Every structure is written in C-alpha cells, then in structure tokens.
Structure 1
Amino acid sequence: MSDAGFWIAWGLPTQGREPQALEALKKSRSFLVELTESGRIERHDVVILRPQTSELGGFFLVQGSTEQIDALRRDADFERWVNQVQIVADRVAIVDAWVNDGIDEATDLYTDALREAGLID
C-alpha cells in the first residue's frame, strides 16, 4: 500500500487559454493513467471542483511508495507535464503528502514536535 504522494492543485484556467486548459486536463488524465498502468505510481485521483467562490478549480492526488514518488518528482517527463499545466492554469501548486501507510510517520513527527515544544510529555 502507498505511503507517499503529492497533491497538484490548480486554479481557474488562465484567461484566454481556456481551450488549451481543457486539452491539458485530457492529456493529464492520460499521463496519469499511463503512470499507473506502467507501475510507476500505485494510483491517482482526478478531482474537478464544482463551481464555487474559491479560486481552486481542482486537483490530482498521486500515490505510491516513497521510492516511486521520489523518482517521479525528478523525472523529466513529469517536469515537462507540470510546466504544461502551469502554462494554462493559474495558481498551480504541488505539495508532498503522507498517505495511507505513511500517516503513522506524519503523526510520529508531529508528536515529536509537540514533545520538543514541551506541549506533551
């Protein structure tokens, strides 16, 4: 089971690039399916948010082993893909994440920080 991942969020399409943003979304879905089918990641989710008042349009959640995620984050195809998304969408952000089996590591680190700050024994 996966223990690492990352979240790629995007805002609204860049004004004047809406058709290109739609095409980039389609290509992104294909790219993520290819990564999953080839075993380079364990799974992915694509989320498009319903119209609302925030500037967040949607996100991808990519999951895998720490080794898979580390390798992907340094992969040239991945970096090109992120650049393509950034060209057509505003407020693109990539955030590393603990998932599933990695949650224990995250809570252990937080517990250690609380202990070091003198907030717990």
Structure 2
Amino acid sequence: MSADNNYSLGPVPKSARKGVASLTMVMLGLTFFSASMWTGGSLGTGLSFNDFFLAVLIGNLILGIYTSFLGYIGASTGLSTHLLARFSFGSKGSWLPSVLLGGTQVGWFGVGVAMFASQFKKRRALTPTSLS
C-alpha cells in the first residue's frame, strides 16, 4: 500500500504543515476569481461609493472572522475540513458538509470555466477567418 502524502486519514504533522506566506497566496488566488470580480463590478456600479465601501468592509469582516476561527481550529489540530466534519458529525453525518463543499467546488469551477469559455467563443466568432 502506498503512503498517504495528503494526510487524508490523520492530522498533518507539524513538519509537513505550510507556512502563512504560502497559505496567503492560496487565499489570494481564491479571492482574485473572475466571478468575484464580476460581482464586485456589479456592486460597484449599482451602489454609491460609500455604500459599496461599507458592503465590502462588512462582508470582508464577516468572512475574515469566520475563516480565522476555522484556520485557528485547523492549525491547532492539524486536521482537514473533512476530518473535522467526521469528528464533529460522525462518519455517517459527515456526508452533509462533504456534499456541501463538493457542490460549492463544482459551482466555483463551473462558473469560472463558463465565464472564460463564453469569452473564448465570442472572440473566436469574431476572428477574420470566420468572416470570410
């Protein structure tokens, strides 16, 4: 049997844990996402500057507090989200958080791919070879 390099069934040892800088880069990558920018652009044009700034500030505070608690728990225990769900809800009850996370990831990547694909299709339709 091969070694489990992802620590899917146990805590990640301290020697294998990533630092703050690399995790910050991952979180920034999740933030700079086409759908997030699209939503921000829609909010920006639909609200006054003060209302937009307040909405962004409150939203980021809520998200920051929530993810800080999750990050603290994960860093303290070394457990993944799925293992924390298993310990919290049991092996049979952990399917719900797993399905919710899986569904959001399908939506996350589905929306991103669809946004890029629709732009590629529009640009391809406008190429000079398609006009002849």
Q: Above 0.5 in TM-score?
A: no
TM-score normalised to the size of structure 1?
Answer: 0.28
Q: More helix per residue: 1 or 2? A: 2
The TM-score normalised by the length of structure 2 is 0.26
Determine which structure has more spread, i.e. the larger CA radius of gyration: 2
